[in-house]
Amino acid sequence: MKRNAYQSLTQWKNDSSRKPLLVQGARQVGKTYLLQEFGRKEYNDCAYFNFEETPALSTLFAGDLTPRKIVESLSAYQAAPVRPGTTLLLLDEIQACPRALTSLKYFCEQAPEFHVAAAGSLLGVSVGKTSAFPVGKVSFLTLYPLSFLEFVMASGEEALYSLLQDKTDIEPVPGLLHEKLSDLLRRYLFLGGMPEVVKSYLQTKDLSTSRTIQKEILKAYERDFSKYTTPAQAVRVSEVWRSIPAHLARDNKKFKYSDVRKGGRASQFESAVEWLRGAGLLYVSVNVTAAKLPLAGYEYHARFKAYLFDCGLLGAMTDLPAQAIVLGDQIFSEYNGAFVENMAAAELARKGDGALHYWASESIAEVDFLVAHDQAILPLEVKSGLNRNIKSLRVYAAKFNPSRIYRSSPRNFECRGDFANIPLYAVGLFPELR
């Protein structure tokens, strides 16, 4: 499947000031496949080493960390040379070998002619405990589940992909294409963007098999909770993780520690939320007290929402029935619109390095997302139905006077005065549309 991140890898390869590349992201989002495919297509050789599959590899990094010594050892181990410029040296699951992570510093300083890429699944929660992180000595690339746009391409709809990819305005698309994109979105809301799930569906068209794979992925994540935390912390992480669907099912989707466990407090569960966030499994949208730049300067961290990083896994956790796909727009409104809002959060998070913000005004109004763009703050309300009510946006506009207010809904593109509607399937194009 074509991934947009491939272009970023190509830019990294051709960068004259290239540093070792660290590709991060949640487990099973396709990091290894993407890097191996990149190595196969763009280099003469790809020297692949996985520290979880072969723990003994860590012994090669136990002593001298100079690049010359490491390359010599790895070449001997695989019985093939690692050559500068023509071999992609790929270190997978690097979080399992902290000294390998440290070695990236020396590749940057002493041997920039070698093309070194590393991948890790739980870097945000497992790195830095036993060795220094190579700050300033690596470039980063975060890989997410397939976006809706990538899903459209994977589905073989190249014309629809180009239509969205090239769109810069808010003019309506032809009705027939709008319906076709909306139908693809229904499937995406059920399947999500985990590569194995999408690949299985495209090959078999069997939603039940895709759901089985989703359930297996969820079980694998729960095993990670125990593997990478203490027993007590694993229980708290699991409780937070399992509470997310219930939080999103409410009209007010604000995260409450007391809803994780009766009497629960921040002191008990705050670190569990941060663990899931660091693992790439949660996106946290923080409330801001004012719509001013920079948004981070007005964050009220005690009030936030938590979204799953993949809408398909959210559906698997709630046992969303496959029939919801074919019953009109039912899937949009299921769980009080939780799936469309979660999908929008994931689409926006991948564009903002995971940072999300929202605004609320004391039970009077709430705007789901605030996005900083071109020295302006753009408000976006996400609606699962066809209702034209934009009361919250109007309250926000009266207070902060934005140049335009935005809603994303199942409706087609529309621009009317200071208001614009963006179809749910195009929310990933926000805020560049004009």
CB within 8 Å of 77: residues ≥ 6 apart: 49, 57, 60
User: Is the pLDDT confidence value at 140 over 70?
Assistant: yes
User: Is the pLDDT confidence value at 130 over 60?
Assistant: no
Tell me the average pLDDT of the chain.
Answer: 93
Nearest to 103 by CA among 74, 141, 76, 81: 74
Q: What's the mean pLDDT in 208-215?
A: 97
User: Is the pLDDT confidence value at 363 over 90?
Assistant: no
d(CA 169, CA 383): 20
Q: What's the mean pLDDT in 127-154?
A: 86
What does the pLDDT read at residue 334? 75
What does the pLDDT read at residue 121? 84
What does the pLDDT read at residue 328? 65
What does the pLDDT read at residue 213? 98
Written as six digits, the tokens of 43 are 């280099």
Range name among 34-38, 129-133, 387-391 with the lowest pLDDT average:
129-133
Cα dihedral value 330, 331, 335, 337, nearest 10 = -90
pLDDT tens digits for range 275-297: 999 999 999 999 999 999 999 99
Nearest to 254 by CA among 264, 263, 244: 244
Specify the residue for token string 């520290």: 51
Q: List, in order of start, the domains of the chain with CATH numbers.
A: 5-142 (3.40.50.300), 148-205+243-429 (no CATH)
Range name among 91-105, 126-140, 244-258 with the lowest pLDDT average:
126-140
Q: What's the mean pLDDT in 14-21?
A: 97
From the number of C-beta atoms within 10 Å of its C-beta (0-12, 13-18, 19+), residue 362 rates as exposed
CB within 8 Å of 351: residues ≥ 6 apart: 428
Written as six digits, the tokens of 75 are 């070449």
Written as six digits, the tokens of 363 are 């039970």
What does the pLDDT read at residue 127? 57
Q: What's the mean pLDDT in 178-199?
A: 96
What is this structure's pTM?
0.93
CB atoms under 10 Å from CB of 54, counted, come to: 13
pLDDT tens digits for range 75-103: 999 999 999 999 999 999 999 999 999 99
pLDDT tens digits for range 331-354: 787 777 889 999 999 999 998 778
User: Is the pLDDT confidence value at 178 over 60?
Assistant: yes
What does the pLDDT read at residue 231? 94
d(CA 110, CA 32): 26
What is the share, in percent, of the chain residues with pLDDT greater than 70?
97
